[in-house]
């Protein structure tokens, strides 16, 4: 087989294809004899083959993918349909699919062969699954792909034709980790945005099964975290949308569910090769009766220790939370997010965008400290850090972000290469922003590898823009009835030039 070059790699699961409006992420590739097509609301053009009754697609749908085996696409012709997927975070991947293969005139005319092959980057595993049996109805099957867990692969369907009644159809394909399959995270940075979760019932304490790999609602509580992709049902509480602006988030529905507790359990995180693990996440705690959210860690899922906690209304916006996990360097651990609803319905809370950071191999620098402070007039942020040693250290970056922004580099400072001497560095943010900002140190070595360290928080209270005095261009103080050019001087030290035109 020849692999196509225009496919994008799927990294978020479960990944579903319904073929209602084209092939989606699946692609026809070079090297075969003809192409797969899509069709909706009707059978294939040839009589006695293909889906035979409305609504024609699998599971009551309209659209499907198929091969048209009429001349010149027979005999002994092949059509390939492929999808690139990365199973690096999946422990037991599987493919669930629907297929239809029917030949009304018997085996001399069809139905041909449908076969799945898998390419692991160096070699093909052929005939992972195949079928050559005619059946007028849609069939459903599941293929175990756990042999390819942890690596990127290409999934390749082949439709083989033997005669003109080989119109083979595929529909409703899902690639996912097996439900409840154990997952160990050992590649960093890690991120889970819960974007593919389907909106669940809002009924109080209804059971919810999550599909995000390795994540689950815990036991021993009396409620569940629920996925949702729009605002929560109650007024004056809860998020109005996903933190990223699209997809789903997890939340606790407080309506009729007062003073209830829900546990959200993470996959196992392997920090055995990490030196400075930490996590970040987004939380939304808005409502006059909001109670408490806590993030805990455990090495045995029996005894849990608090890493972060907040109580009460935090305002109507997503906030960024951090937890320094230096204590977990060298061990495996799980995380538990515990939410508790308040005494009335105005206490919905949301959770989203969980990120884990480890560090891989030992850092090429030994960081002693990283700190920041405001200048005396609050106009600058002074940043300082100290390293005990450096190995192949090319440069440092000082990066800044606010709650809803990406990290931006505000200064690059050259490293010392190799040194066993403790060295102190400093940087100044001359244009800080009002409100809460996060600063972190990022280090890059000579071969391009980089590591980011646990961030710090700096808060600048916005000064009121209060007018202090008005002067003309001669420097004489005047009042608001003056006519002509003036300079307004404000209490925060800023000035504005204006023209006063007093109409009498």
**Over 80: is that where the pLDDT of 243 sits?**
yes
**Over 80: is that where the pLDDT of 1 sits?**
no
Q: Round to whole Å and give the CA distance between 396 and 58.
A: 55
- Of the candidates 455, 453, 397, the residue with the CA atom closest to the CA atom of residue 425: 397
What the block records as the tokens of 281 is: 């996440």
State residue 474's pLDDT score: 85
State residue 159's pLDDT score: 98
- Of the candidates 168, 9, 174, 169, the residue with the CA atom closest to the CA atom of residue 83: 9
State residue 468's pLDDT score: 86
What's the chain's average pLDDT? 90
**Over 50: is that where the pLDDT of 26 sits?**
yes
Query: What is the b/e burial string over 421-439, where b = at least 16 CB atoms within 10 angstroms of the residue's CB?
Result: eebebebebeebeeeebbb
Handedness of CA 176, 179, 183, 188 (dihedral sign): positive
* pLDDT tens-place string over residues 96-139: 999 999 999 999 999 999 999 999 999 999 999 999 999 999 99
Calculate the alpha carbon distances from 365 to 187, 268, 277 in Å. Answer: 20, 28, 15
**Over 90: is that where the pLDDT of 254 sits?**
yes
* pLDDT tens-place string over residues 367-411: 888 999 999 888 899 999 998 878 788 999 999 998 767 889 999
Query: What is the b/e burial string over 55-79, where b = at least 16 CB atoms within 10 angstroms of the residue's CB?
Result: ebbbeebbbbbbbbbbeebbeebbb
DSSP state, residue 223: B
In a 10 Å sphere around its CB, with 0-12 CB exposed, 13-18 middle and 19+ buried, how is residue 175 labelled?
buried
Query: 491 preceded by cis ω (within 30°)?
Result: no
302-306, 335-339, 375-379: the lowest-pLDDT one:
375-379
As a whole-number percent, the residues of the chain with pLDDT over 90 amount to 63
Whether residue 361 contacts residue 272, with contact meaning beta carbons closer than 8 Å, is answered with no
What the block records as the tokens of 381 is: 């942020």
State residue 3's pLDDT score: 45
The mean pLDDT value for 11-27 works out to: 94
State residue 180's pLDDT score: 66
Residue 359: pLDDT band by 50, 70, 90 thresholds?
low
* pLDDT tens-place string over residues 183-215: 889 888 899 999 989 888 888 877 888 888 889
Residues 6+ positions from 317 with CB-CB distance below 8 Å: 284, 286, 403, 404
Q: Round to whole Å and give the CA distance between 96 and 170.
A: 11
Q: Round to whole Å and give the CA distance between 132 and 4.
A: 26
In a 10 Å sphere around its CB, with 0-12 CB exposed, 13-18 middle and 19+ buried, how is residue 478 labelled?
middle
The mean pLDDT value for 249-266 works out to: 95
The mean pLDDT value for 410-419 works out to: 90
**Over 80: is that where the pLDDT of 365 sits?**
no
* Strand, helix or coil for residue 193: coil
* pLDDT tens-place string over residues 428-469: 999 998 888 999 999 998 888 888 888 888 988 776 677 888
The mean pLDDT value for 44-70 works out to: 95
* pLDDT tens-place string over residues 131-188: 999 999 999 999 999 999 889 999 999 999 999 999 999 999 999 988 766 788 988 8
Q: Round to whole Å and give the CA distance between 182 and 298.
A: 16
Q: Round to whole Å and give the CA distance between 179 and 177.
A: 6
What the block records as the tokens of 39 is: 């069709």
State the greatest distance between any 2 C-alpha atoms of the chain, in Å, as a whole number. Answer: 104
Residue 6: pLDDT band by 50, 70, 90 thresholds?
very low
Q: Round to whole Å and give the CA distance between 209 and 201.
A: 11
Whether residue 345 contacts residue 256, with contact meaning beta carbons closer than 8 Å, is answered with yes
State residue 483's pLDDT score: 87
- Of the candidates 326, 249, 247, 260, the residue with the CA atom closest to the CA atom of residue 282: 249
**Over 90: is that where the pLDDT of 89 sits?**
no
**Over 90: is that where the pLDDT of 10 sits?**
yes
- Of the candidates 431, 400, 394, the residue with the CA atom closest to the CA atom of residue 413: 394
State residue 434's pLDDT score: 85
**Over 80: is that where the pLDDT of 470 sits?**
yes
Rg value, the chain, Cα: 30
As a whole-number percent, the residues of the chain with pLDDT over 70 amount to 95
């Amino acid at each position: 087989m020849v692999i196509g070059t225009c496919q994008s790699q799927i990294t978020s699961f479960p990944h579903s294809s319904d073929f209602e409006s084209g092939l989606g992420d699946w692609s026809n590739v070079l090297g075969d004899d003809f192409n797969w097509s899509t069709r909706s609301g009707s059978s294939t053009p040839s009589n006695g083959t293909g889906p035979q009754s409305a609504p024609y697609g699998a599971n009551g749908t309209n659209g499907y993918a198929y091969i048209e085996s009429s001349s010149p696409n027979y005999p002994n012709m092949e059509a390939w349909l492929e999808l690139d997927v990365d199973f690096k975070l999946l422990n037991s991947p599987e493919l669930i699919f629907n297929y239809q293969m029917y030949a009304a005139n018997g085996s001399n005319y069809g139905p041909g062969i449908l076969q799945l092959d898998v390419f692991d980057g160096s070699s093909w595993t052929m005939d992972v699954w195949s079928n050559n049996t005619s059946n007028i109805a849609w069939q459903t099957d599941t293929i175990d792909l756990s042999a390819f867990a942890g690596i990127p692969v290409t999934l390749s369907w082949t439709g083989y034709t033997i005669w003109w009644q080989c119109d083979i159809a595929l529909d409703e394909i899902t690639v996912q980790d097996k439900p409840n399959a154990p997952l160990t995270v050992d590649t960093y940075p890690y991120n889970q945005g819960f974007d593919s979760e389907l909106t669940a019932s809002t009924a109080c304490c209804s059971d919810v099964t999550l599909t995000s790999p390795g994540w689950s609602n815990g036991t021993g509580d009396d409620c569940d975290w629920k996925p949702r992709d729009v605002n929560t049902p109650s007024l004056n509480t809860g998020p109005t949308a996903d933190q990223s602006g699209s997809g789903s988030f997890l939340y606790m529905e407080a309506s009729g569910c007062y003073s209830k507790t829900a546990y959200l359990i993470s996959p196992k995180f392997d920090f055995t090769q990490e030196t400075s693990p930490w996590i970040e996440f987004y939380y939304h705690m808005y409502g006059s009766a909001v109670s408490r959210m806590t993030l805990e860690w455990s090495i045995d899922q029996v005894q849990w220790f608090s890493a972060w906690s907040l109580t009460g209304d935090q305002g109507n916006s997503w906030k960024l939370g951090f937890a320094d996990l230096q204590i977990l360097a060298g061990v495996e651990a799980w995380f538990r997010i515990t939410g508790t609803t308040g005494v009335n319905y105005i206490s919905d809370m949301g959770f989203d965008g969980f990120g884990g950071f480890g560090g891989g191999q030992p850092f090429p620098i030994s960081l002693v400290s990283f700190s920041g402070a405001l200048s005396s007039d609050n106009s600058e942020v002074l940043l300082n850090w100290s390293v005990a040693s450096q190995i192949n250290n090319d440069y440092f970056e000082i990066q800044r972000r606010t709650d809803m922004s990406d990290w931006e580099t505000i200064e690059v400072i050259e490293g010392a290469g190799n040194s066993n001497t403790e060295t102190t560095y400093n940087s100044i943010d001359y244009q800080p922003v009002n409100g809460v900002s996060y600063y972190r140190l990022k280090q890059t070595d000579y071969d391009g590898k980089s590591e980011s360290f646990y961030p710090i928080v700096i808060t600048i209270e916005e000064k009121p823009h209060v007018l202090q005095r008005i002067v003309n261009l001669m420097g004489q103080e005047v009042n608001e009835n003056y006519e002509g050019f003036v300079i307004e001087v404000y209490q925060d030290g800023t000035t504005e030039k204006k023209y006063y035109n007093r109409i009498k």
